[in-house]
């Protein structure tokens, strides 16, 4: 490590509300092999030119500088991270950075059959797989592509490769996914997959989000309780984790709810983001970004990159304003931010 990147604890990424940021979400591409309606346009998405994507070396450098500021957790995402060629090489290099304690990946699972072992061998410990439906028709309505069977095969491949637990994330949308809740509840009760429902957030490319389309966490709990009996909230082990955990009272499994809209968890947020084209974002819903690609490509020093991170965190707002009339949806849809 160069002397330039040895920062003291005083340089930790603490915002003006006292929140310590140790968790960086790194998007490696805005491309994807699905077209989920809540994330991407159905037709002719405008992808970033390849030359604008950070190289693995550039990404690794940003993360390394971040470790000097207290970043110890990284999650790779996209777009679909597994469409980025040789992703396992980036994982290998991030896993071995001094100071990194935890590297995770969020994927739609389409390419997992081919890559699960490679990812595991690269040192990846944690895997979140997104699957909104347990039947192929609803899967197609949500993703506007086929591929349901490939995701199921991918989940199996991930289990075979030794990922445990596997977290399954399901976006919940009113009028579309109500009938998926009990099947997901049954799956959660089998015990080897952690199922989490995510409220639909206003980050879609077609600007069709409405409050009325959000299937709220309390409604999901109601549907589950009507079938399986009472759900008991679990003690919070990490107040910064976005999911609230509930246990089925008969002891069979747990279920997670990520209630970003109805119960925002901004007060405990420890996350910020690096987009695939090298912009730092202090919030999913941020309207401003801090450029690091320019620094990386113009001979910027580690200290300048660190300063850019600190500026980004210093400008973080108290929370998203989805539930207010002030809310403005960011121009970048989810696939281009990195979810």
Binding residues (CB under 6 A) for ligand SAM: these are: 32, 38-39, 77-78, 80, 106-108, 130, 169, 171, 198, 200-201, 203-204, 334-335, 339
> Under the criterion CB under 6 A, does residue 109 sit at the interface with ligand SF4?
no
- Round to whole Å and give the CA distance between 261 and 278: 27
CB 338 within 8 A of CB 276: yes
Q: Count of CB atoms within 10 A of residue 319's CB?
A: 16
- Round to whole Å and give the CA distance between 277 and 296: 11
Output the smallest distance, CB 39 to ligand SF4, in A.
Answer: 3
Residue 133 touches which member of ligand SAM, ligand SF4, none, C-beta under 5-8 Å by kind: none
Residue 204 touches which member of ligand SF4, ligand SAM, none, C-beta under 5-8 Å by kind: ligand SAM
Total number of residues that touch ligand SF4 (CB under 6 A)? 13
Nearer to ligand SF4, 75 or 316 (CB): 75
Nearer to ligand SAM, 169 or 290 (CB): 169
> Under the criterion CB under 6 A, does residue 81 sit at the interface with ligand SF4?
no
Output the smallest distance, CB 200 to ligand SAM, in A.
Answer: 5
> Under the criterion CB under 6 A, does residue 335 sit at the interface with ligand SF4?
yes
Token pair belonging to 220:
């999901």
The pattern of x and - marking residues 155 through 174 that bind ligand SF4 according to CB under 6 A reads: --------------------
Residue 184 touches which member of ligand SF4, ligand SAM, none, C-beta under 5-8 Å by kind: none
Nearer to ligand SF4, 62 or 337 (CB): 337
Nearer to ligand SF4, 70 or 330 (CB): 330
Output the smallest distance, CB 110 to ligand SF4, in A.
Answer: 8
Output the smallest distance, CB 123 to ligand SAM, in A.
Answer: 19
Residue 40 touches which member of ligand SF4, ligand SAM, none, C-beta under 5-8 Å by kind: ligand SF4
Residue 278 touches which member of ligand SF4, ligand SAM, none, C-beta under 5-8 Å by kind: none
Output the smallest distance, CB 46 to ligand SF4, in A.
Answer: 14
Q: Which of 260, 262, 263, 261 has the alpha carbon at shortest distance from 271?
A: 260
Nearer to ligand SAM, 69 or 161 (CB): 161
The pattern of x and - marking residues 20 through 59 that bind ligand SF4 according to CB under 6 A reads: ------------x-xxx--xx-------------------
* SS3 readout for the chain: CCHHHCCCHHHCCECCCCCECCEEEEECCCCCCCCCCCCCCCCCCCCCCHHHCCCHHHHHHHHHHHHCCCCCEEEEECCCHHHCCCHHHHHHHHHCCCCCCEEEEEECCCCHHHHHHHHHHCCCCEEEEECCCCCHHHHHHHHCCCCHHHHHHHHHHHHHCCCCCEEEEEEEECCCCHHHHHHHHHHHHHCCEEEEEEECCCCCCCCCCCHHHECCHHHHHHHHHHHHCCEEECCCCCCCCCCEEEEECCCCCEEEEECCCCCCCHHHCCEEEECCCCEEECCCCCCCCEECHHHHHCCCCHHHHHHHHHHHHHCCCCCCCCCCCCCCCCCCCHHHHCC
Chain contacts with ligand SF4 (rule: CB under 6 A) = 32, 34-36, 39-40, 78-80, 108, 130, 334-335
């Amino acid at each position: 490590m160069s002397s330039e990147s040895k920062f003291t604890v005083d340089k930790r990424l603490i915002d003006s509300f006292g929140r310590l940021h140790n968790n960086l979400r790194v998007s490696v591409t805005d491309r994807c092999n699905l077209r989920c309606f809540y994330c991407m346009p159905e037709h002719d998405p405008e992808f970033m030119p390849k030359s604008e994507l950070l190289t693995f070396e550039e990404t690794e450098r940003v993360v390394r500088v971040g470790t000097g500021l207290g970043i110890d957790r990284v999650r790779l995402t996209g777009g679909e991270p597994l469409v980025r060629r040789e992703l396992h090489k980036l994982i290998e290099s991030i896993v071995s950075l001094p100071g990194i304690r935890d590297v995770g990946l969020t994927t739609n699972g389409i390419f997992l059959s081919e890559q699960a072992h490679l990812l595991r061998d690269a040192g990846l410990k944690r895997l979140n797989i997104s699957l909104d439906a347990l039947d192929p028709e609803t899967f197609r309505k949500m993703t506007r592509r086929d591929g349901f069977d490939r995701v199921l095969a991918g989940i199996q491949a991930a289990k075979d490769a030794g990922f445990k637990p596997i977290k399954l994330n399901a976006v919940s949308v009113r009028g579309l996914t109500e009938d998926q809740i009990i099947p997901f509840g049954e799956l959660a009760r089998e015990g080897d997959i952690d199922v989490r429902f995510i409220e639909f957030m206003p980050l879609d490319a077609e600007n069709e989000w409405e409050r009325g389309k959000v299937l709220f966490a309390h409604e999901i709990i109601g549907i589950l309780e009507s079938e399986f009996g009472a759900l008991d909230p679990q003690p919070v082990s990490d107040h910064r984790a976005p999911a609230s955990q509930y246990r089925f009272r008969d002891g069979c499994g747990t279920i997670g709810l990520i209630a970003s809209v109805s119960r925002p968890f901004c007060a405990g947020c420890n996350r910020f983001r690096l987009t695939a084209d090298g912009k730092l974002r202090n919030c999913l819903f941020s309207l401003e970004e801090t450029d690091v690609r320019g620094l990386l490509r113009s001979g910027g020093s580690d200290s300048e990159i660190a300063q850019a991170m600190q500026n980004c965190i210093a400008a973080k707002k108290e929370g998203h304003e989805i539930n207010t009339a002030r809310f403005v949806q960011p121009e970048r849809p989810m696939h281009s931010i990195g979810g």
